[in-house]
A = this chain, B = another copy of it.
């Protein structure tokens, strides 16, 4: 009963993030949770807003029938209406509920979208560094992910994106605030991107879709906000979830929102509902559809993440580890420092993560995000744990 050879191969080179997450659980059992500084995964430690559990209790007490039954594959109309209101506000474009399809997290939603649009041989562009699972998602549906290196400050390299577009390009994935860099793309970048896609359409005849993966949209610092995309490019689809802003990653609740001014927008919405069905999601989980319809205006206290960011940046400065100041999300992208006491390849991110692990600091090599020479630290862990990691970082930094 063999595993398909290509799946075995993928597994062997599989996500560093999940490996670290699972190694971290082992280390914590061995040394105690206090003694392990686990910056490996974006698994928010902040508890969800109290209203979430209140709604769970209310649903448990309700005598409403068919609470757990099938509903249309796209989701409950009332949930879709709530999401339409949410995304209309974010994008500044009125979205009817017919253009919302509820999904099993942003990952599920993105798979449904890719399945709906990709033909064999199609390409999907992404600016690197990027969330590495995108490669798998695109490959699941017969496409190829094409990476375009970001500029030095991790903003989009619009000229390079323009050069990468060709007749096989079906879509470009935008992720802002970005995982792993914390970068937020500017409204100007979105405008330039729209113009580039328009010029490509004029010459090539093919419309390239923007897939905007926005689970971190609300988590921003210093008053920064995330610009809308619909005004700059109508052929845009937003996929998002409540994994990060409501701390519900395990519940797999998200959505797809399709710009109503896109070509064939309603047909695409129907196709995404259809692919949600045939991929085996069938529908987003019923209970959490009801909960997010009632709770989407809630949020965790993002200032907690902002404070942690400050503490961690101070520690990294003290440890001599250079980094990019994140504008949003809860990731710090750090450059592997110069070696002073160790030998080996300069900027070897995997070696630096192994080095940090000796100090019980868990981080993920940047090569796992298409950017060797860097590492990612997820700071959605307790302030106390971050503060306690100070000595470990300083020792690790000076011994490298």
Chain A residues within CB distance 8 Å of chain B: 1-8, 10-11, 14-15, 18, 21-22, 25, 41, 43-45, 47-48, 52-62, 65-73, 104-105, 107-112, 115-119, 133, 136-137, 140, 207, 209, 235, 237, 247-252, 262-265, 267-268, 270-271, 274-275, 277-288
Contact = CB atoms under 8 A, between A and B. Distances in A.
A105 B282 CA distance: 9
B3 A116 contact: yes
Contact of A1 (B108, B136, B207, B247): B207
A263 B338 CA distance: 48
Nearest to A15: B277
A69 B279 contact: no
A279 to B, nearest CB: 6
Nearest to A52: B68
A304 to B, nearest CB: 15
Contacts of A287: 56, 251, 287-288
Contacts of A69: 43-45, 247, 249-250
Contact of A68 (B140, B248, B265, B286): B248
A247 B65 CA distance: 11
A286 B56 CA distance: 13
A113 to B, nearest CB: 10
B68 A107 contact: no
A15 B273 CA distance: 13
Contacts of A1: 117, 207, 209, 235, 237, 262-265, 268
29 contacts: A1-B209, A2-B264, A7-B115, A7-B274, A7-B275, A10-B278, A11-B271, A18-B73, A21-B70, A21-B72, A22-B72, A52-B68, A56-B57, A56-B287, A57-B60, A57-B61, A68-B250, A69-B247, A70-B250, A104-B281, A105-B280, A110-B280, A112-B280, A251-B287, A252-B282, A252-B283, A252-B285, A285-B288, A287-B287
A274 B117 contact: no
Contact of A10 (B70, B274, B279): B274
Contacts of A282: 104-105, 107-108, 249, 252
Contacts of A62: 53
Contact of A117 (B3, B65, B279): B3
A264 B3 contact: yes
Nearest to A25: B72
A234 to B, nearest CB: 8
A235 B1 CA distance: 6
A161 B160 CA distance: 54
A262 B2 CA distance: 9
B111 A280 contact: yes
Contacts of A283: 250, 252
A317 to B, nearest CB: 30
A60 B55 contact: yes
B133 A278 contact: yes
Contacts of A60: 53-60
A7 B116 contact: yes
A68 B43 CA distance: 10
Contact of A281 (B209, B270, B281): B281
B250 A285 contact: yes
B279 A140 contact: yes
